Amino acid sequence: MTTTDFSTPVPYREVTDVNGRLYRIGETDRDIMGRPRWTMVLFPWMGMLGISSSEYAFTSAEDTLHDAHLWSSGHIFWLMGVWVFFQAAVAFPAGQLRESGKLPARYAMMLGALGTILGYLSLAFAPHVIVAYLGFGMFSGIGAGLVYATCVNMVGKWYPERKGGKTGLVNGGFAYGSVPFVFLFTSYMDLSNYETVLVAVGLVCCSVVAFAGWFFKDPPKGWWPAHADPLKVSDDPRVRRALEKNPPAVKQYTPREAARTPVLWMMWFCLLCTAGINIFGIAFQVPFGKDMGFA
């Protein structure tokens, strides 16, 4: 273990454990951003709510979009497929840019807000389905990916000692935040008002994402809350048993190093399976439920 002291307006120490992981301790959340860190759960949660309707509520508007633009059902589902592709594809480059400092969290959220409004505008006014593929499929998908990656990552950075529940809460906002919009699209949107409804929803979602993103601030690299000793072994036998089954990493891995380990690819495969189930639910269960009369 090594310890390095620094003389700054807010003193902190950098502590290294036996695995070589670096912890920066001494600064509080209020020292860094002037407010408690629970706000970095609230604002990411709001950001996830703001992009949720783009995916989960989209198929609820399928019938209206089909009648309004004369798009086939195939185009509707391919629009969702393109959206999902770009939402996933942007995650790695966004993470690289975020960790390098070239893309601050606030800018990533603003780009996500822009992609959100462009997606809804293209669904409302697209003169051709290609415009919808670009506006909703690509730009909205990229925007959602930026927001998703930034929000989840932000919570983990501010709660490194107990990130599970907080991350789960924020991640869940991506699903249950769409519920009001599913109700809106299925119950109130029709050919007489679909443009107004889509633009209004786009403005609301864009505003929520932008508002939440304005308050985003990353902690310093390796930051650890001052009240939690990262080197202390817990006296709680439940915590010790959990650590035995989920030990800390032997070191901090770069993306290239992580790609050489089987664990990364196992996680990728698990996420691929769960993503397939999610997309199946979005694309097929909603139409099936409508036909059965209970969706």
* Strand locations in 216-276 (E): none
- C-alpha distance from residue 96 to each of 92, 99, 107, 243 (Å): 6, 5, 14, 29
- Mean pLDDT calculated for residue range 160-187: 83
- Mean pLDDT calculated for residue range 209-214: 96
pLDDT confidence tier of residue 68, bands split at 50, 70 and 90 = confident
What tokens appear for 169 in the block?
Answer: 């809460």
Which stretch of DSSP H or E encloses residue 100? helix 91-100
Query: Does the pLDDT at position 171 exceed 50?
Result: yes
Report the alpha-carbon distance of residue 68 to residue 66 in Å, rounded: 6
Q: What confidence tens digit (pLDDT) does each residue in 231-274 have?
A: 777 777 776 776 666 666 777 777 788 888 888 889 888 887 87
Report the alpha-carbon distance of residue 163 to residue 33 in Å, rounded: 19
- C-alpha distance from residue 265 to each of 92, 173, 260 (Å): 14, 26, 9
Q: What is the pLDDT of residue 144?
A: 92
**Residue pair 136/119 in contact by the 8 Å Cβ criterion:** yes
Backbone torsions φ then ψ of 193, nearest 5 degrees = -140, 10
Query: Does the pLDDT at position 161 exceed 90?
Result: no
Which stretch of DSSP H or E encloses residue 24? strand 22-25
Report the alpha-carbon distance of residue 32 to residue 130 in Å, rounded: 45
- Mean pLDDT calculated for residue range 42-68: 84
Query: Does the pLDDT at position 2 exceed 70?
Result: no
Q: What is the pLDDT of residue 47?
A: 94
Residue 136: closest CA among 125, 152, 151:
125
* Residue 171 Ramachandran class (φ > 0 left, ψ -120 to 50 alpha, else beta): alpha
Residue 139: half-sphere exposure toward Cβ, Cα within 13 Å: 20
Question: Which sign does the torsion angle of CA 144, 146, 147, 153 carry?
Answer: positive
Determine the longest span between alpha carbons in the chain, in angstroms.
68
pLDDT confidence tier of residue 290, bands split at 50, 70 and 90 = low
Q: What percent of the chain has pLDDT over 90?
A: 31
